[in-house]
Amino acid sequence: MTASDKAFTGSIPQIYDQLLVPLIFTPYAQDLAARITRHQPREVLETAAGTGVVTRALHAQLPPEARITATDLNEPMLMQARTHLADADRIRFQQADALALPFADASFDVLTCQFGVMFFPDRIKGYAEARRVLRPGGRFVFNVWDRIEDNEFAHVVHETLQQIFPDNPPQFFTRAPHGYFDPVKIRADLSEAGFSDIIIETLPHRSRAASAQEPAIAYCQGTPMRGEIESRGAPDLATVTQAAADALRQRFGSGPVVGQIQALVISAR
């Protein structure tokens, strides 16, 4: 993990929200919200909420008396989230590091985190903090991406970047979003932080876009990979994005594209 891996800032939040969220995050947000709703929580905490795709799914699925606190390390991501949910009184947005939550012990019935724990510099500390703010018997419901080979668009973009920068290949995808998927390790980390009743499921989906250009822009410009590409100087971001689009087109066709995505969904008490 490097400092730039958590830099969801600048123009990233908007591109992330417009292209990456519909591409890969929406079906998993619907899934997490459905799982959480079954626990009938009164108070839900979301960490690493990003631009609020899970927050919106929770708002749509939870009964009106349930309250949602949506937090993220990066205020620019929350600013983008607020644009979708400006009138939702029961949602509180608050900047917070998931490793040092500004909430009292035993404050929430459910804590959720969609595709966020991979970015935690110390996951056991993050899990212990989740446990601290959960009420006795409370649930931690979260997900992580499976290995990059099971996430086809990301894999093609990653391989393309390895070829463009052979001397200094960008490793953001395999270091951060696709760097924490071993169920044995996840189970051990949760147990060490005090969680039990751990259930881990594999959940595949199909990812769709109107053309290869969309996943290329989404992955190269709407994630911290953008900073890794820009820091190398040449070729520039537009040229690299075009090369990724060409590789995706070659593999998935010149019209609408469809690829496999896969995640692990985890629930612990």
Nearest CB to ligand SAM, comparing residues 56 and 139: 56
Least distance in angstroms from the C-beta of 10 to ligand SAM: 12
Least distance in angstroms from the C-beta of 114 to ligand SAM: 4
Nearest CB to ligand SAM, comparing residues 8 and 127: 8
Least distance in angstroms from the C-beta of 113 to ligand SAM: 7
Helix (H, G, I), strand (E, B) or coil at 142: strand
Give the footprint of ligand SAM on this chain (CB under 6 A).
Answer: 6, 8, 21, 25, 47-51, 53-54, 72-74, 77, 97-99, 114-116, 119-120
Nearest CB to ligand SAM, comparing residues 72 and 243: 72
Q: Which residues of 42-81 are buried (b: 16+ CB within 10 A; e: fewer)?
A: ebbbbbbbbbbbbbbbbbebbeeebbbbbbbbbebbbebb
Which amino acid is residue 35, in one-letter code? R
Sort residue 233 into left (φ over 0), alpha (ψ -120 to 50) or beta. left
Nearest CB to ligand SAM, comparing residues 48 and 68: 48
Least distance in angstroms from the C-beta of 176 to ligand SAM: 8
Q: Which residues of 2-35 are buried (b: 16+ CB within 10 A; e: fewer)?
A: eeebbbbeeebbbbbbbbbbbbbbbbbbbbbbeb
Residue nearest to ligand SAM (CB): 50
The values of phi and psi at residue 162, to 5°, are -65, -35
Nearest CB to ligand SAM, comparing residues 222 and 259: 222
Least distance in angstroms from the C-beta of 127 to ligand SAM: 12
Helix (H, G, I), strand (E, B) or coil at 72: strand
